[in-house]
Structure 1
């Protein structure tokens, strides 16, 4: 993989006030070099290996709890757990309901791994399990400082906290402090794993990226299982090929759309948009959902940039009225430069409906309703700007968590997600439940911190939630950053809580909100905005889409 080859392709002209596309026509013209193996061979070999791995679960009743936890964790980190969902569910349920053997372990790594995995899968586990590692004074034993694997697992586990769990605040601080002290002395691959977690804890990290890193790291482990490793490599290469085909398809669609609507002020970010969808669901069976989500995201980005950086307030009012009416016959009432966009937006969303199975078509009603709500929130922000009005922080957030587009995109993700998305899941999502709101809040708060500390791309931007908060509380920027970090943490904890409280029939759909929140962490790492300033994502995208694992 040579990301400089990608960079060389990015010789394009800027569009409006946005940074130019970093990819040129790379995603359309790139072709994979000849593979060592045919795709047919790789699939047949992968099926054979799945059978071997599945046999490991057959002895689950005799396998130790520690070994079962390590097996589940390995499969999830390598991104191949989808093939063993039933087996993993049975194993974790058994571990959760059985008792003394697991709870008697004095291995910090095992105890923390169990805590983390069970909570991630919706099972409640008390923080009391960590009390055994404290001394008589209530402090953690100094001996733990010499166990980097245990500390890393403890640190990751602490980020499965729910609101009010002060004990996990202390645990996270303790583990982080000792990991930072140990990091200079660690060898590969532990050094890389610790560095990655200190940036973004693993429960909050993009799963596809973790798989890309861990395939190489797992191979370095002396005790790695050769069947699991080979399956992970095959799966990554098969999916990479599919993702590149989808990226070409979505790039061609975008090129036609972008050239037709001629909204040159809008961001040209289709590669970054598609990368986001791979973070929400990377699996092969979700191809339709990825393409729908990428198109929905791209259309929403055009709409956002229109309201936010270009249209007058009067034009925003007319566009909102047209969206509420949802009829191509409304196009003539729009300013001329928006007519083609409006028609294309409605026709693309109509194509979404055409791609749904007969029993899925009811889903389009939810999309239309949320799209109309989205435009109303965009209009409210445009009204604030036109009147030079600074809302209260609460007033701002009530509007801007919708204008992030997260509630809308969550419904679009569900729309293409097949049987994962039940009618109950859609009814749940339409009312913007706390898990979806928490995801939107992380996006809102991280975005607004980023936008405050960079030059404004548009003089039309209304006051951000960050600016409203500073004004309302008479805070300095640094104090406001700390307050927003606390609010992002609280949003994550509510998301964690939702995973453990939701009806298990809705949980698979709700997990998409977790993945969307993980993508917020990647996009806004270190205060950047990697969607708008796409250079930040160039190496990440090149690695994900071009990296090959020899078999």
Structure 2
């Protein structure tokens, strides 16, 4: 990733330029693709028809299905399963009030002794993912006197999968959930080759990335096909979910066209050929944070901030001399066109473009929202300060301690994205003034998100060689302080990433309810890291690794119409 992530590289080459020791990245595999792309007309009805049909179905679902969620006379397990289905199909945004009522009911009611493992685990996961406390003691009834889970559960694939996913909402020091994860994983691994779809695919996906850490848009893409194969699926709900997915996808394509034109003009004019050309990949990342149609402005504004920060990041990381780094940081701290004169010639166009784009971002905000740009500008300035500190370490061949490295590199990556993420969000109780103050203070949740980013990135860059200018990673610092080989250090850093996830889980449960909507976006941002760095890879820097996922999310409709 850009924004402070140390990009793994393939083969360093000499490139003419001021820095001299550049590492050019693979060119974009998309370039102008989404500028010229036109969806085949035969694959969809008109957008007007789709919206009218979706509105009709939404009303039908509300009238015929959602009474179950609020009816105290019905089994609460039915309410939990309906909420889970709506969320996994990506429809929860249409039924927030009904889902809120259902979750309140699940929180108030005591689970029945008759509930099986799947039901108990599903209720547990949903409550925690909605910021509601529930004790891990609910799983005690499935244990024997020795504390081990009952042997009768070993062949319960549905129950084990639910337990595995639920246990990944653990907070620090919940040892019983550690055991639950190990127990469920061991038996799911043993049976996965014998399972049939859709359970086989769901288990395989969860073993890679547990459901609470899997991006929701990606889950919807998979679950649309899997839900249809469930014996008790509802055809009306399935049709609505497919329409909703395609309507959002159509808007995403329009945004990709707009952003691709903006980026191509910016990237080609600044002529920083050493920087990663990853507009489409970054947009995919951003759709993992908020994919809904209501967040269109937020996506576009965040993507522009992301792209500008990416150019600055790669300038510090792989190209600029230390003297140039100092000058760039001075100009950014001054934030005034007059500062352009102190910059080397190759950075002057970038600097002017940076200031102009921030002015345009501010113009995109309503008068009562314009205060937000100061938080975003301050985040950009702070990023520059952290990048400069890393550049100084690199130039001086300084080997930081593990604690020093983590303090700087975790802040230079993710935490400073939070204000930019909130910048374009509308007036829906998410991007409040309190939310910006919370984000700017970098609370535990946001700092832990930065740690997840740092640790997963450093594991990836340990496998694939880095730029020569990079300072030692957390993996290398760990090896220097604790001895041993790289394999042990990678395992230790992976354990620290798990600890950071649990800090995020705890912070979410302790959050002021008014800040939960903003905090949920931070969680979504962190989830995308699991996809980008899955298996120790870095599919953002090496963009070909995301080709299939980008094609599936943006180019393949959920419904193929034959009429």
What range is the shorter-chain TM-score in? over 0.9
How many angstroms apart in 1 are the aligned matches of 2:102 and 2:437? 31
Q: Could you say which residue in structure 2 is the equivalent of 1:415?
A: 423
Question: Which residue number corresponds to residue 19 of structure 1?
Answer: 26
- Give how far 1:48 is off: 1.0
Question: Which of 442, 446, 464 is the equivalent residue of 1:436?
Answer: 446
Instruction: Tell me what 2:37 maps to.
Output: 30
For 1:16 and 1:346, how far apart are their aligned partners in 2?
Answer: 27
User: 1:69-108 counterparts in 2 under 5 A?
Assistant: 69-99=80-110, 102-108=111-117
Q: Give CA deviations for 1:292-318 in whole Å, capped at 9, x if unaligned.
A: 111111111100000000000000001
The one-character-per-residue Cα deviations of 1:401-453 (angstroms, maximum 9, x if unpaired) are 1211x122211110111221111111111011111111111111111111111
1:39 alignment partner in structure 2: 47
- Work out whether 1:452 is the aligned partner of 2:468: no
Q: 1:176 deviation in Å?
A: 0.3
**1:467-478 equivalences in 2 (<5 Å):** 467-478=476-487
Match of 1:301 in 2: 310
Partner deviation per Cα, 1:190-223 (whole Å, 9 max, x = no partner): 0000000000001000111100000000001110
SS at match of 1:485: helix
Task: Count how many residue pairs are aligned between Structure 1 and Structure 2.
Answer: 534
> Hey, which of these two has a bigger chunk of helix by percent?
1
Q: Distance in 2 between matches of 1:363 and 1:343?
A: 21
Q: Which residue of 1 aligns with 2:8?
A: none
Determine the C-alpha separation between the residues in 2 that align with 1:197 and 1:26: 32
1:105 touches 1:111 (CA, 8 Å); kept in 2?
A: no
In structure 1, stretches of 5+ residues that fail to align are: 1-13
Asked if structure 2 preserves the Cα contact closer than 8 Å seen for 1:27 and 1:251, the reply is yes
Shift of 1:16: 5.8
Alignment check: 8 A CA contact 2:90 2:217 kept: yes
SS at match of 1:418: coil
Question: Paired residue for 2:67?
Answer: 58
Residue number in structure 2 paired with 1:335: 344
* TM-score, scaled to structure 2: 0.93
Q: Which runs of 4+ in 1 moved over 3 A?
A: none
Alignment check: 8 A CA contact 1:163 1:494 kept: yes
Distance apart, 1:105 and its partner CA:
3.4
Shift of 1:396: 1.1
**Partner residue in 2 for 1:3:** none
The answer for the alignment partner of 2:78 in structure 1 is 67
Pick one of 150, 155, 165 that aligns with 2:159: 150
Unaligned runs of 5+ in 2: 1-14, 16-21
Aligned residue in 2 for 1:425 = 435
Give the aligned partner of residue 179 of structure 2. 170
- Give the CA RMSD over aligned residues: 1.3
Aligned to 2:473: 464
Q: Check conservation: 1:53, 1:227, Cα contact below 8 A.
A: yes
1:139 aligned residue (148, 153, 162): 148
- Asked if structure 2 preserves the Cα contact closer than 8 Å seen for 1:442 and 1:488, the reply is yes
Separation in 2 of the partners of 1:357 and 1:103? 50
Cα deviation, 1:318-355, whole Å, max 9, x if unaligned, reads 11011111101111110000000011111111111111
What is the CA-CA distance between 1:164 and the residue it aligns to?
Answer: 0.4
Q: Distance in 1 between matches of 2:59 and 2:115?
A: 33
**C-alpha displacement of 1:90:** 1.3
**Alignment pair present for 1:120 and 2:129:** yes
Of residues 380, 388, 396, the one that matches 2:389 is 380
- Name 2:250's counterpart in structure 1: 241
Contact 1:277–1:294 (Cα < 8 Å) also in 2:
yes
1: CA distance, partners of 2:367 / 2:47: 32
Contact 1:159 1:203 survives alignment (8 Å): yes
1:10 corresponds in structure 2 to: none
In 2: Cα distance, 1:345 partner to 1:408 partner: 17
Give yes or no for contact 1:103–1:129 (8 Å, CA) kept in 2. no
Question: Superposed, which structure 2 residues align to 1:246-265 within 5 Å?
Answer: 246-265=255-274
Q: Secondary structure at the match of 2:24?
A: coil
Local SS of the residue matching 1:410? helix
Q: Please report the TM-score for the alignment, with normalisation by the length of structure 1.
A: 0.95
